[in-house]
Chains A and B, each alone.
Chain A
Amino acid sequence: MEKTANKSDANVIYGEWNVRYAYSVGKVAGTFFEGLKRKKILAPRCTKSGLSYLPPRAYCERSFEPCDEWAEAGQEGVIEAATIVTAAFENLPPPPYAIAYVRLEGVNTSMINFVQGLDLTDVTAAMARLKPGTPVQVEFVENPEGCITDFHYIVKSVS
């Protein structure tokens, strides 16, 4: 498709935005991403409220005090919500894929990531394996780079 700016046909003028960014990570996200490189999921905790947060944040949003310690989250948890995407969205991964909010052991909030290793051919059957409360575990990629896709969740096999 012709996308060059200022070219037009009878009815429309075409345009495209290309904008580059370098996002400053900061201390809190930086600590979390450094942990991922070591295959550890680090969660900040507020000793006043007792709440531990993932995704990480600087301040506790209940006590309005700084999160003042870090603790390693468990690498097992439970699904709180899930979906399976079967349609292609521009600039998003090719379908099908599953994503889920998972509450990891020792953490009060849930964090989203991909769920891998599930047969998604039959969406209804696959969703039945992703019910809230389903145990999952974290699996890291072989060479983590310090980003959220360094890990994903896998549904624990039923023995």
Chain B
Amino acid sequence: MPKNRAAIIGVGETVFRKHHPDKTYVELAQEAAVKALADAGLTMDAIDAVVFSMAPTQFMGVNDADKWAVDSIFAAGKPFLRVHTGGATGGSALHAGYAHVASGMYRAVLVVGADRIAETPDAQHILNLIWDRFYEHDVALNTVTMTALSTHRQMHFHGTTQEQFARVVVRARRNAMKNPHAHLKGIITIDDVMRSPRVAWPYKLFDICPRSSGAAAVVVAHEDIAKEVCSRPAFINGIGAIANTVFMGDRMGPSADTEMSEIPEAAYAGREAYAQAGITDPIRQIQVVELYDPFSSTQFPQLESLNFCKRGEAARLSDEGAFEPGALLTVNPSGGTLCTNPIGVTGLVRVADAALQVMGKAGEAQVPGVRNALATALGGSVQFATCTVLGADSV
């Protein structure tokens, strides 16, 4: 059990787009840090430690860019650590910041990061290089093909159709119109998704997230500070995380102890986070989820693993409109990862956008009456999962 309660008391995000020609990488991270501190009403003097959220640095092209960022994010003179769990990095970084405070070691922590995926045209080459050199690298695995393979099983088991995935994209891009930070946004149709160029079956171009540039930051503080300086903090009431085998071939077939297409890692991480946060009936207790969904097929298995509905039901509920803003469960009111994917901070953006909903600061995307919000992140070969439950009340 944690020694102290902790809350998010400040959030900062830059606009996300393909390029930020007006800033260097570290200046981008700085913008998010400045915004989060201003939102919290604190200066750097009040921050005891800094956690840096950054995945592979080969996209932005400076090896281990955390060291370059130290000055820009005002971390000189403070304890500093970089966290990296691939796509789950931002979720893990938030958990590290939370543990700093919950353990009693520090009272206020800045969690910040930036990424810019489109500095190189070779992004999927870099994402092929994350596989072991011996067995899987040469077989054209990258993040697109690995999830296409998993989606093949999802469709096989549950009969989910490409049109049902397309509807997720349509909703995401529409939701993103109310998020001033989102990268892709607009009104599109299922037909537009279906007619976009084929990439790796069943994915077409619009089923896949963009390569985004941008930064995010949150200030995590001890409950006492939160209550003193923030009228509506987002309490971090539950965290859960898990790592699974890197080998996807171990996660399928009769001998497997987990089924890859179900994203079972989210179930394990969710169970732990729910237990800490007192969530026993998620569909009634949680109003908003910010799911890590870089592909159109990534939402359904997560919603099922997180017990918002039974296995195999999410696609039908999506068709019926259950996941629209203000409906049964608001899924990704920000537009989610399908609209914005700056990999090294995407998990932190999920947390930040969920926190804004709890804090009542989500602007046009605000869902009324949010008491609990959930954020996920997934990384590696969909082997890392983090789950964070934020609440308007401390539990």
Interface residue total, chain A, C-beta cutoff 8 A: 50
Given A15-B61, A86-B201, A91-B128, residue A81 in contact with residue B135 (CB < 8 A) = no
Q: Within 8 Å of chain A (Cβ to Cβ): is B152?
A: yes
Hey, what's the 0/1 contact readout for B217-247 against A, CB within 8 Å counting as 1?
0000000000000000000000000000101
Q: Within 8 Å of chain A (Cβ to Cβ): is B332?
A: no
List A residues 106-143 near B (Cβ within 8 Å).
108-114, 123-124, 127, 130-132
Hey, what's the 0/1 contact readout for B177-197 against A, CB within 8 Å counting as 1?
000000000000000000001
Hey, what's the 0/1 contact readout for A62-95 against B, CB within 8 Å counting as 1?
1000000000000000001111111101111100
Task: Give the docked Cα–Cα distance between A111 and B139 (Å).
Answer: 10
Set of chain B residues within 8 Å of A23, measured between Cβ atoms? 133-134
List B residues 106-164 near A (Cβ within 8 Å).
121-125, 128, 132-136, 138-142, 144-145, 148-150, 152-153, 156
Task: Say whether B145 contacts A83, CB under 8 Å.
Answer: yes
User: Number of contact residues on B: which range applies?
Assistant: 35 or more
Q: Within 8 Å of chain B (Cβ to Cβ): is A39?
A: no
Task: Say whether A148 contacts B139, CB under 8 Å.
Answer: yes
Which one of B77-85, B248-256, B366-374, B382-390 is at the A interface?
B248-256
Given A62-B257, A80-B153, A81-B149, residue A86 in contact with residue B198 (CB < 8 A) = yes
Q: Within 8 Å of chain A (Cβ to Cβ): is B200?
A: yes
Given A55-B135, A91-B122, A110-B252, residue A101 in contact with residue B198 (CB < 8 A) = no
Q: Give the shortest distance, in Å, between A90 (CB) and chain B (any CB).
A: 4
Find the B residue at minimum CB distance from A112: B139
Q: Within 8 Å of chain B (Cβ to Cβ): is A105?
A: no
Task: Give the docked Cα–Cα distance between A97 and B136 (Å).
Answer: 15
Set of chain A residues within 8 Å of B138, measured between Cβ atoms? 147-149
Task: Give the docked Cα–Cα distance between A40 and B115 (Å).
Answer: 44
Q: Within 8 Å of chain A (Cβ to Cβ): is B58?
A: yes
